[in-house]
Amino acid sequence: MRCNSRLAHVLVAGVLLAACAGGGSTGVGDATRITFMAGFSPQANLPFVGAYVARDLGYFADVGLDVAIQHSAGGGEHLQLLAAGEVDVTTQDAAVLLQRRADPGLPLVSIGLIGQRGQQAFVALADSGIETPSDWAGHTVGYKGTPPPDVFAILDAVGLEVADIELVNVGFDPRVLTEGQVDVYPVFKSNEPDTIRGWGFELNMWDAADFGVPTLGLTYVATGDMVAKEPEVLDAFMTAAIRGIEYARDHPEEAIDIVMRYVGEEGDAEHQRFILDTELIDSVSDTTAANGLGWQKAEQWSALQDLLLRYDALASPVDVSEVFTTQFLSG
């Protein structure tokens, strides 16, 4: 790993470095050591699974890589570490990638678009009487941190105004829905619906993509500098990671066994299976059917950027051609 020219930043970001403590450095035997940091805690998000499987089944070793896998706490530090050169590859939601590329100008490049649809959706309790987004009028609609453009796009799609609903910052605890503190709750499709249903509640769910909204999900991310200077490393990484995802698609039970080694004994294998199955569904599209898993097109990124700009969710337009590359995908 390329730590040598980053010492000044290392001093600056001591806390960040602590997270990097297990990170690798160049060369272990014949293998090139790199660090992959998953963008959240261990779970069966598909890009994480690709890396877990590739490491545990030797796919990384097959392409000459020794990959150290770390996990972010989810606060954005993985992007700081990536930009500072302490991590080589990470994962990030496509919309956030565009936002961070625009401000503060992080040199992020998507090297594989694994989520061909957005991660979030909105749910209401099935017995709430809220059957369609048109029924959101007069109800509280939650958001996590900042209102996503998805919610405004859905409102537009059904002819509602923002003033027709009450937007509430609900954080990340779905119990606020089941306890009646909010009527419509934003979920990560592959995660919270399974949790809430596990508590015995049925849900009505709305995905912005079903209303023609051009959402995108998780990507593998590297820096523009690494894409330019070490393409062979990224090519090897993506070859092995996509192979890992394909293995998980074809052998989900075995893949979950591998995931559980990272999640730990306290994890729920059935819940991890839900995450994996949901994200496998969202990993395919006409684009991937024609070109293979992880493929991405300028049209997809442009449409997402237009959406973010339309709803003031992007500080400024970015050059979409610099946001992604397909050079490490088999096509």
Partner 1 sequence: MTRRTVAGLALVVVVLGIWEVWVQASGTPVYLVPAPSDIASVLGEDASELVPAALVTLGEAVAGLALGGAIGLAMAVIVTFWGQLEQGVMSLALLIKSTPIIAVAPILTIWMGFGHGPKVIVTALLTFFPVLINSVEGFRSVDPAVTDWFRSIDVPSRQYFTHARWPSARPFLFAALKVAAPLAMIGAVVAEWMGASSGLGRLMWLAYTNLDMPSLFGAVFALTLLSAAVYRLVVAAERRTVHWA
DSSP 206: E
Question: CA-to-CA distance for 75 and 88, rounded, in angstroms?
Answer: 18
Judged by CB under 8 A, the number of residues near partner 1 is 29
By CB under 8 A, name the one of 69, 83, 184, 248 that touches partner 1: 83
Q: Is 195 in the site for partner 1 (CB under 8 A)?
A: no
Question: CA-to-CA distance for 69 and 38, rounded, in angstroms?
Answer: 7
At residue 105's C-alpha, the angle toward residues 99 and 110, to 5°, is 60
By CB under 8 A, name the one of 58, 73, 103, 159 that touches partner 1: 103
Q: Is 290 in the site for partner 1 (CB under 8 A)?
A: no
Nearer to partner 1, 167 or 303 (CB): 167
| Residues making up the chain, counted from first to last | 331
By CB under 8 A, name the one of 2, 9, 33, 297 that touches partner 1: 9
User: What sign does the CA torsion over 238, 323, 289, 251 have?
Assistant: positive
Q: Is 175 in the site for partner 1 (CB under 8 A)?
A: yes
Site string for partner 1, 38-77 (x = CB under 8 A): -------------------------------------xx-
Instruction: For residue 144, give every residue at least 6 positions away whose Cβ sits within 8 Å of its Cβ, in sequence order, or none.
Output: 120, 169, 170, 171, 172, 186
Closest approach of partner 1 to the CB of residue 125, in Å: 15
- Could you tell me the two tokens for 68? 């150290």
By CB under 8 A, name the one of 1, 44, 106, 307 that touches partner 1: 106
Question: CA-to-CA distance for 16 and 164, rounded, in angstroms?
Answer: 43
Closest approach of partner 1 to the CB of residue 175, in Å: 5
Q: Is 104 in the site for partner 1 (CB under 8 A)?
A: yes
Three-class DSSP labels, 250-287: HCHHHHHHHHHHHHCCCCCHHHHHHHHHHHHHHCCCHH
Asked if 95 and 60 count as a contact pair (C-beta separation under 8 A), the reply is no
By CB under 8 A, name the one of 79, 124, 209, 313 that touches partner 1: 79
By CB under 8 A, name the one of 3, 13, 34, 125 that touches partner 1: 13
Q: Which residues bind partner 1 (CB under 8 A)?
A: 8-9, 12-13, 16, 75-76, 79-80, 83-84, 99-100, 103-104, 106, 145-146, 168-173, 175-176, 179, 181-182
